[in-house]
Amino acid sequence: MSVVEVRGLTKEFGDMVAVDHVDLASREGEFLVLLGPSGCGKTTLLRMIAGLEEPTSGEIYIGGEKMNGLPPRIRKVAMVFQSYALYPHMTVARNIAFPLRAEGVDKAEQDKRVRWAAELLGIDRYLDRRPRQLSGGERQRVALARALVREPNVFLLDEPLSNLDAKLRAAARDDLLEFQRRVGITTIYVTHDQVEAMGMGDRIAVMRDGKIRQFGTPEEIYSDPADTFVATFIGSPPMNLLEGEHRVVGFRPENFKPIGEFTERDVPSTFRFHVNRSEYLGSDRFLYGVVEGYDENTKVIARVPVGSTIAEGATYEFGVAAADLCYFDPRTGKRLRGDA
């Protein structure tokens, strides 16, 4: 296992800055997620760590050793891409063994490592098949096995589940996490899916415009967002934001409740909430509406129990406990501490 650290890492493509002076350090054996919208720089950052892109400036360390200028094979990293890049004419066994053949590893050692990786990932019964005979999830495991046989110090995964359907993605997330915990290899995982990031990451680096906007555990990023971008990018539905003259107030939909649900000790901030639409989602109801006194184009969402009697077209007193309110600077979007 190895710690990955980047210091002041920057990548420019002409006039475009794809990664902008990023500082980041993993912990040994952790599952670290780079999360952000398309074009935010997360894949470019991963490719620089792998040695597939040369940084414009900054430093990359793996296991305490500086890696700038060194090829991927020297860095002892293994990367799995969004497209698994399996060779269709080769069997699963030969696909997995490909990097070992390229390195000149003897046949007996190749067979040993291929069998070990295939058994670890539960694909040993498919070794004689071709990729086209496998499901999407099985092909993803082949790609992981091919990376694993190189005995890397670091796994770099670039949206490896994005080609799977929703049901298969959920199962593949569990499999991938179980595998990573078992082998204990430091893993950096790129995704644009905040649900995936929240469910898998030990820590998450939220990126936008080439910069890291916040770095922390899923709990920290969800409950204590650093700015309005993180607040609205994380969470489904996202945090509600109401802009006032001097500040923006934010609160999560599940904390926005009818005033009658609070005790006398809670002393919540109160809002007049006009419900325009109700959405039934099985275990919850989402109420969509507006808050009196704020811009009528600013939509607010409340998450309430299915049995709630709140009706569409009516206005209700809703509240948010003081501890569940966040405040942001309306100019910079950055978090304001306390009730300033």
- Kindly report the CA angle at 38 between 35 and 42, in degrees rounded to 5? 45
Positive or negative: CA dihedral 11, 15, 17, 20: positive
Q: What is the pLDDT of residue 1?
A: 63
d(CA 220, CA 79): 28
Q: What is the pLDDT of residue 263?
A: 81
- Kindly report the CA angle at 175 between 203 and 110, in degrees rounded to 5? 105
Relative orientation angle of helices 107-120 and 92-102, to the nearest 10 degrees = 130
Position 338 pLDDT exceeds 90: no
Torsion angles phi and psi, residue 191, rounded to 5: -155, 155
Of 49-58, 72-81, 289-298, the one with minimum mean pLDDT is 72-81
Chain-wide mean pLDDT for the chain? 91
Predicted TM-score (pTM) of the model is 0.87
Q: What is the pLDDT of residue 12?
A: 97
d(CA 21, CA 57): 8
Q: Where are the alpha helices (DSSP H) in the chain?
A: 42-50, 72-75, 92-102, 107-120, 136-148, 166-183, 194-200, 218-223, 228-233
Report, as an integer, the average pLDDT of 284-304: 94
Of 185, 189, 198, residue with least CA distance to 159:
189
Please count the other Cβ atoms lying within 10 Å of the Cβ belonging to residue 51: 21
Give Cα separations from 176 to 30, 164, 183, 196 (angstroms). 13, 13, 11, 12
Listed by start position, the domains of the chain span 4-223, 238-336
The band of 226, judged by pLDDT with boundaries at 50, 70 and 90, is very high
Position 340 pLDDT exceeds 60: no
The radius of gyration of the chain from alpha carbons, rounded to an integer in Å, stands at 24
d(CA 187, CA 203): 11
The arrangement of secondary structure in 4-223, i.e. its CATH architecture, is 3-Layer(aba) Sandwich (3.40)
Of 255, 256, 305, 309, residue with least CA distance to 284:
305
First to last CA, the chain: 44
The band of 122, judged by pLDDT with boundaries at 50, 70 and 90, is confident
Relative orientation angle of helices 136-148 and 166-183, to the nearest 10 degrees = 20
One-letter amino acid identity for 256? F
The band of 156, judged by pLDDT with boundaries at 50, 70 and 90, is very high
Report CA dihedral (172, 175, 176, 181) to the nearest 10 degrees: 160
Q: What is the pLDDT of residue 339?
A: 54
Question: Is CATH 3.40.50.970 correct for 238-336?
Answer: no
